């Protein structure tokens, strides 16, 4: 019965959103017809829109708050309003003398972000770092150096910053444990560990990835560290989520025993919360895809294209032997 009610509410919400999109499409058609019937000012509108478009390569990406550069159309509208004697800081889409605000004076819903090219989609920036300033990174480095040597092992974090004009930014993180191979005279990637879920900051992603690596290497080398003071830290097998803590048999200190039990409970809860966050992010991405598809169908809004990875050089076009497009020439 409860599932039927939830399904009915979900269907009602989808129908309401489709009706809203249909109303917006109808209002947009009415505005276009009204502008087409007006005097020669309508012929200048396309040129103004072309001047207001911004080059995707010139859009400045700011910090992880997701704020973008002010669109040029806002600046042009402010200059026009100042020349007409209006308020330069007024809303260009408000009731300060524009042509589109005279239909019904009822505020119509607007897209989440105005004045930006939402069709650009995700832009991904890649970062590589061997530094970390958290508990798990420091213990991971100390454990690895104790087992493989100070000069042979390296910890390297690969981070990707996903940015979007409409959605919240996030970080995706991996940690690569590299060991020096004397025969190959290069570092060999021994293991790669992933953060459980995407995070809002780079530091949080690094800490999560380092925690996964620390627990795995504690399990691999547990026979050598089982008598150390850190033996009550969690450890786990690679590929498994369940962790294990050393036995409390023979521990006479009740405070230590209760603290170890608390560590085990907190570790379980942390893993469960991160896994739940990962599932919620997956559902959110699915909902975004559905909304963009509906906006493209009902409103003509372009859908976000595939992620563009900043800094990557695309492969050259494949040609046949003797083709002029692949020939090497000498400057005259």
pLDDT digits (tens, 9 = 90+) for 93-106: 443 433 333 333 33
Domain presence at residue 281: yes
Domain presence at residue 16: no
Domain presence at residue 261: yes
Neighbours of 295 (CB within 10 A): 18
Query: Token pair 């550069």 is at which residue?
Result: 69
Residue 189: the pLDDT is 94
Domains in the chain: how many in total? 1
Sign of CA dihedral 111, 114, 115, 117: negative
What letters, b where the CB count within 10 A reaches 16 and e where it falls short, cover 147-165? ebeeeebbbbbbbbbbbbb
Asked if residues 59 and 80 have their Cβ atoms less than 8 Å apart, the reply is no
R_g of the chain, CA atoms, integer Å: 29
- Residue 107: helix, strand or coil by DSSP? coil
Domain presence at residue 256: yes
- Residue 104: helix, strand or coil by DSSP? coil
Domain presence at residue 275: yes
Residue 38: the pLDDT is 59
Asked if residues 76 and 53 have their Cβ atoms less than 8 Å apart, the reply is no
CA distances from 100 to 31, 53, 141 (A): 7, 19, 62
Asked if residues 325 and 317 have their Cβ atoms less than 8 Å apart, the reply is yes
Residue 1: the pLDDT is 52
Domain presence at residue 217: yes
Q: Which residues contact 264 (CB under 8 A, 6 or more apart)?
A: 234, 243, 245
Beta strands in 83-236 (DSSP E): 123-129, 153-163, 170-181, 186-194
Query: Token pair 């809002």 is at which residue?
Result: 200
Specify which residues 159 forms β-bridges with.
127, 173
Residue 143: the pLDDT is 94
Residue 24: the pLDDT is 75
Domain presence at residue 193: yes
**pLDDT in single tens digits along all 332 residues of the chain:** 555 555 555 555 567 777 777 777 777 777 777 766 654 444 444 443 444 333 333 333 333 334 333 334 444 444 444 444 444 444 434 434 333 333 333 333 333 333 333 346 889 999 999 888 899 999 999 999 998 888 899 999 999 999 988 889 999 999 999 999 989 999 999 999 999 999 999 999 999 999 999 999 999 999 998 888 888 999 999 999 999 999 998 888 999 999 999 999 999 999 999 999 999 999 998 998 888 888 888 888 777 767 878 777 777 778 888 887 778 889 98
Structure tokens at 315: 């492969």
Domain presence at residue 152: yes
The predicted model scores a pTM of: 0.62
Structural domain for 269, as ranges: 124-290
Distance, in Å, from the CA atom of 102 to the CA atom of 35, rounded to the nearest integer, reads 12
């Amino acid at each position: 019965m409860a599932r039927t009610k939830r399904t009915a509410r979900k269907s009602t919400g989808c129908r309401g959103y489709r009706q809203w999109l249909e109303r917006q499409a109808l209002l947009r058609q009415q505005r276009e017809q009204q502008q087409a019937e007006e005097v020669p000012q309508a012929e200048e509108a396309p040129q103004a829109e072309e001047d207001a478009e911004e080059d995707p390569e010139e859009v400045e990406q700011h910090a992880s708050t997701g704020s973008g550069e002010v669109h040029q159309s806002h600046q042009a509208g402010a200059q026009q309003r100042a020349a007409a004697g209006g308020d330069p800081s007024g809303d260009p889409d408000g009731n300060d003398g524009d042509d589109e605000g005279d239909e019904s004076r009822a505020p119509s819903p607007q897209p989440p972000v105005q004045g930006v090219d939402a069709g650009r989609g995700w832009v991904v920036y890649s970062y590589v770092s061997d530094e970390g300033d958290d508990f798990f990174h420091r213990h991971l480095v100390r454990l690895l150096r104790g087992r493989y040597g100070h000069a042979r092992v390296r910890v390297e974090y690969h981070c990707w910053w996903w940015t979007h004009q409409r959605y919240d930014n996030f970080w995706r993180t991996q940690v690569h444990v590299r060991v020096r191979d004397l025969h190959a005279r290069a570092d060999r990637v021994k293991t790669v560990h992933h953060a459980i879920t995407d995070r809002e900051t780079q530091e949080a992603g690094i800490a999560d990835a380092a925690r996964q690596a620390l627990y795995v290497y504690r399990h691999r080398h547990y026979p050598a560290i089982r008598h150390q003071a850190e033996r009550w830290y969690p450890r786990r097998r690679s590929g498994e989520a369940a962790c294990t803590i050393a036995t409390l048999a023979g521990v006479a200190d009740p405070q230590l025993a209760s603290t170890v039990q608390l560590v085990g409970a907190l570790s379980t809860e942390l893993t469960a919360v991160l896994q739940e966050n990962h599932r919620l992010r997956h559902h959110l991405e699915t909902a975004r895809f559905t909304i963009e598809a509906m906006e493209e169908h009902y409103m003509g809004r372009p859908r976000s294209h595939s992620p563009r990875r900043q800094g990557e050089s695309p492969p050259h076009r494949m040609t046949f032997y003797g083709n002029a497009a692949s020939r090497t020439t000498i400057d005259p």
